[in-house]
Amino acid sequence: MDGDDQGHWLIGRAEIDPGLRDRVADDYRRLARAGPPDRYHEWIAERYGLDLSTGFAGHRLSNPWAKASGQLSMNRQQVAEDIEAGLGYIVLKTVIAETGDGAQSMSAWSIREARMLVESITSRRGERGWTVSWKGRGWWGTFAEYLDLLAAAREDAASSQTLIVPSVKYHLPAPGESEWLVEEYEHTTQKLVEAWQTTDDSPMPLEKDFSPTLAGSGHARVRETVIEWLRRVPALIRGAVDGGRVVVGLKIFNALFDDEFQLALLRSIQEADGIEATDWWTYGNRLFDPRREFDGHRGIAYGGPDLSDRNLRVLSAFQAEVGPAMRPLAATGNINSGRMALEYALRGASSFQLHTFFQLPNERYALTGGTRTQKALHELYLHPEDGLVVWLEHLARRWGLAHDPLRFVDVVGRGRPDR
């Protein structure tokens, strides 16, 4: 197996200049008490000679950190805090698509379920981590409320560099069905673009959430059905509005099938052409355990190290197949350190969508004041053993990368550092 026996490539301690290690450790401790500087990303970039900028959905981002879609991007206050914290982008909670008369084919996803439990979890190979147990699904407010949130978030982000990204669950025909409810695609996409364009008329990035509609199903016909979904959906979303007004991303789930099936999904994304092609893909949403229970409900999604192990394994195999031709990738799944983020980056990810790491118990973060997002960023950048700064420097030394400044994008998709 590659790297360590779990397939990780960044193992042990970062090999860097001891003076730099001390400086990082010093900043980590000092800022934990004093609080982060106002423009934290810029401060990090300047202090350590880094260029953190990256690309996403045709936009230039000042840094690769993003809020993944979910319970932490449900209202204006949450979004405003993340803009303040300078995230590269924020994916809003997934809304359930509807037609002009308010009908939702996926209405089963629109249920109110506020209770969440952040729990420690031990992975199959015995690593400890965190998962969020929850039995809810998509946005439970009205579509009009979602449009208001999108317009307000756009307005709040207008004077910042943070990009706002709506997320949608549209109709998908079940195995054996052939009809697509095109009107749901049309109405929902048109309304979202209208709300988006109250601020400016740039193309709207939209993430289509596939998870985990059939994640719990082991039915053989499901395989062809899912591949057909991935092929049809980008064209349906694009076709809903005038050319070029929407940029489409597909968020891919982890099915109960084997890795070979995941690879088949990724190949079909890679091979799609013209209007069927996705502009980016997000990989990979949480695992599903049909036996795991929460609040009297059996069969829930979970995360933690099992999730990143599986994602990294599949992405390594996919990268070995497609190399630098890989379509733009955003990573999600147990990104709990700068080191883990770079594991995904080496396999092609140019941005990182986090959920669980933004909701750990307060005592898990060194920063005493500030929002959860600020606390998390502090760990992600500056943790002396696991942070992005030390591991990016490790890679720069490994490959002799220029420091004028050291560019994050230069490690994206670069593959194993020990080869």
Interface ranges with ligand FMN (CB under 6 A): 68-71, 93-94, 116, 132, 134, 138, 167, 209, 211, 251, 285-286, 303, 307, 332-335, 353-357
3-class DSSP assignment, residue 302: strand
**Shortest distance, CB of residue 359 to ligand FMN, whole angstroms?**
8
- Provide DSSP, 36-103: --SSHHHHHHHHHTEE--EEETTEEESSSEEEPSSTTSSSHHHHHHHHHTT-SEEEEEEEEP--TT--
* Minimum CB distance to ligand FMN smaller for 71 or for 160: 71
Q: Residue type at 321?
A: E
Question: Which amino acid is present at 146?
Answer: Y
Helix (H, G, I), strand (E, B) or coil at 381: helix
* Least distance (Å) between residue 310 CB and ligand FMN: 12
Peptide bond preceding 205 in cis form (omega within 30 of 0):
no
Minimum CB separation of residue 130 from ligand FMN in Å reads 8
Which CB atom, from 133 or from 319, has the smaller least distance to ligand FMN?
Answer: 133
If the CB atoms of residues 21 and 387 are measured against ligand FMN, the closer one turns out to be 387
Q: How far is the CB of 162 from ligand FMN (least distance, A)?
A: 17
> Which H helix or E strand runs over 375?
helix 372-382
Place of tokens 């730099």: 20
Rank residues 262 and 407 by Cβ distance to ligand FMN and give the closer one.
262
Phi-psi region of 415 (alpha: psi -120 to 50; beta: other; left: phi over 0): left
- Residue closer to ligand FMN, measured from CB, 213 or 285: 285
Nearer to ligand FMN, 41 or 93 (CB): 93
Give whichever of 167 and 351 is closer to ligand FMN, judged by the CB atom.
167
**Please, what is the minimum distance in Å from the beta carbon of residue 23 to ligand FMN?**
29
Nearer to ligand FMN, 45 or 312 (CB): 312
- Amino acid residing at 217: S
Q: Closer to ligand FMN at the Cβ: 172 or 307?
A: 307
Q: Smallest distance, Å, CB 227 to ligand FMN?
A: 20
> For residues 301 and 292, what is the distance between their CA atoms, to the nearest angstrom?
8
DSSP 367: -
CB of residue 94 vs ligand FMN: minimum separation in angstroms? 4
Q: Min. distance of Cβ 160 from ligand FMN in angstroms?
A: 21
CA dist 377 to 37, 65, 212, 262, 327, Å? 12, 8, 28, 30, 27
Structure tokens at 275: 């209007």
Name residue 254's beta-bridge partners: none
What does the block give as tokens for 174?
Answer: 């079940």
Min separation Cβ 243 and ligand FMN, Å = 26
Structure tokens at 125: 């190979």
